[in-house]
Amino acid sequence: MTAVSDVRTTIGALRREVCGLHAELTRYQLVVWTAGNVSARVPGQDLLVIKPSGVSYDDLTPENMVVCDLEGRVVDGEHAPSSDTEAQAYVYRHLPHVGGVVHTHSTYATAWAARAEPVPCVLTMGADEFGGEIPVGPFAVIGDDSIGRGIVETLRDSRSPAVLMQNHGVFSIGKDARSAVKAAVMCEDVARTVHVARQLGQPVPIPQDRVDQLFDRYQNVYGQPG
């Protein structure tokens, strides 16, 4: 009985967190209309919390977030879940360290995706956040598990927490939903700056050993308490 009420408390907190994080997608102008979404894994459970499908950003509430199992089936919610739920569920099934997933069609990152071109590592913030280039995943459409498989196959062997799915947009992952949102925001920022740099010439790559150094420092030292 205690365990059940603990799970309910956790899900209630995640409904509020996931709902609130959608405001970051609009704040940083990563989404239009009802596109884009944030989800979170329910720790210790085969469940996720995700945005409902087709509800405008202004109308999102903790109550209309949808709880699904890791096959994408609705467990609790009055709305249909985001159409990206199956892809995100696939990610949670196959990458156990992932606690949050975000999807956007943010403009500059998606422009790189349209060209199927990875964003090269030519900025220290790219090295810090992504540990190298931001990779491109395969072309895939909703309808089977090909989007989820493409995300997992691309990110499994990469240090990057974001993938540009070809001709589509960004999927980002994190240890929790907030980290995944941060990766989506930084992905767009890096994509935009490198795009601008390209307009006036060829950006200068950062040597691999410096990339490794920056990534290691940022991931292990920067921002840690104490």
Site residues for Zn ion per CB under 5 A: 169
CA distances for 68 relative to 85, 88, 105, 219, angstroms:
8, 11, 23, 31
Q: Closer CB to Zn ion, residue 81 or residue 169?
A: 169
Q: Closer CB to Zn ion, residue 127 or residue 147?
A: 147
Provide, rounded to whole angstroms, the least separation between the CB of residue 184 and Zn ion: 12
DSSP secondary structure of 108-162: HHHHHHHTT-PBP--SHHHHHHHSS-BPEEPP--BTBSHHHHHHHHHHTT-S-SE
Provide, rounded to whole angstroms, the least separation between the CB of residue 168 and Zn ion: 6
Q: Closer CB to Zn ion, residue 7 or residue 35?
A: 35
Strand partners, 174: 100
Q: Closer CB to Zn ion, residue 132 or residue 169?
A: 169
- Cα–Cα–Cα angle for 194, 197, 203, nearest 5°? 85
Provide, rounded to whole angstroms, the least separation between the CB of residue 30 and Zn ion: 12
Q: Closer CB to Zn ion, residue 82 or residue 120?
A: 82
Contact 159, 91 (CB under 8 A): no
Provide, rounded to whole angstroms, the least separation between the CB of residue 51 and Zn ion: 12
Residue carrying the six token digits 């920056």: 214
Rounded Cα gap, residues 92 and 67, in angstroms: 14
Q: Which residues, other chains included, contact 200 with Cβ-Cβ below 8 Å and sequence gap of 6+?
A: none
Provide, rounded to whole angstroms, the least separation between the CB of residue 166 and Zn ion: 12
